[in-house]
Chains A and B, each alone.
Chain A
Amino acid sequence: MNHAPFIWSAYAVAVIVYAWTALAPVWRARRFRAAWQAREKVMGRSRGPTGTSEN
């Protein structure tokens, strides 16, 4: 029996699972930072140049 497909499949699964486990929190952090910055921009605009809310 040729063992190569089993070996490469095992390593491919490991690489995919470990890469996803490592990268998912990095992507999540980027999304969170972008959302926070967008929110801060909106809040900064609504506060106006004096730093007090216009509403």
Chain B
Amino acid sequence: MSRLKRLFHQFGSPPWFYRFSGKLVPWLWVAFALLAAWGLYRGLVVAPADYQQGESVRIMYIHVPSAWMSWMVYAVMAGFGICALVWRVRVAEILMISSAPVGAAFTLVTLVSGSLWGRPTWGTYWVWDARLTSELVLLFLYLGVIGLYNAFDEPRKAARAASLLAIVGLVNLPIIHYSVNWWNTLHQPASIGLDGSSIHPSMLWPLLIMAAATKFYYGACLLTRARNRLLEQDRGKRWAREALAEGGR
């Protein structure tokens, strides 16, 4: 058996996943805390004000990484949904549904911080343009996945239904991404692409550091939530009882 295949099988084993993720979570929190502290210091203290946006550009250091994460988490959630539907991996089902509240949080912060940036910059909190509306649809998709999962009593049936909705909702991601190119929107086009960035390094670095920090935050939140669900679902099994007897470690 190849190393990758063995890892995939190990990953699908709830006791192994529970123990492995338990060791990983504290390190993810440490990486998040260090990067977030560094990114916020660079963004709020060191980085200069923008010549057009003024001081309100500092909202970008929380808005842009949150927006990127709202899309990435959805793609990852749908990926787990595919694993859950195709291979019936229970850990993937749990990771899929554990991703949804974290993704919803990123989307909510994106919408609220964008709205607070829009008031001083555009003169309005909200416009029904393609980017803002499709991001709002993303929030509804996350809430839909959570709601659909909670509508079932049986967790495996619930995960299959929610996975299907998550996969169907993937169609919204290219709409969000290309909305600023396909339609005439108030929202500006992307400033960072594969061919480089139009942002000055003094502002780009805090943005990238915060983007890295949010990835560790997602990892830590996802694994914490997934461990809880696993323990709750398997509380009657021997490995879970042993873990609970050890204080949930």
User: Which A residues lie at the B interface, using CB under 8 A?
Assistant: 1, 3-4, 6-7, 9-11, 13-14, 17-18, 20-22, 24-26, 28-29, 32-33, 36-37
For window 42-89 of B, CB contacts with A under 8 Å fall at 54-56, 58-59, 62-63, 66
**B232 interface contact, C-beta 8 A:** yes
Given A6-B59, A28-B228, A13:B119 Cβ within 8 A? no
User: Which B residues lie at the A interface, using CB under 8 A?
Assistant: 54-56, 58-59, 62-63, 66, 101-102, 105, 108-109, 112-113, 116-117, 119-120, 217, 220-221, 224-225, 227-228, 231-232, 235, 244, 247-248
Whether A21 contacts B101 by the Cβ 8 Å rule is: yes
Whether A6 contacts B63 by the Cβ 8 Å rule is: no
Whether A1 contacts B120 by the Cβ 8 Å rule is: yes
Q: Is the interface of B mostly helix, strand, loop or mixed?
A: helix
**Which residues from chain A contact B105 at a C-beta distance below 8 Å?**
17-18, 20-21
Number of residue pairs spanning A and B whose beta carbons lie under 8 angstroms apart: 73
Residue of A nearest to B217 (CB): A18
Whether A25 contacts B120 by the Cβ 8 Å rule is: no
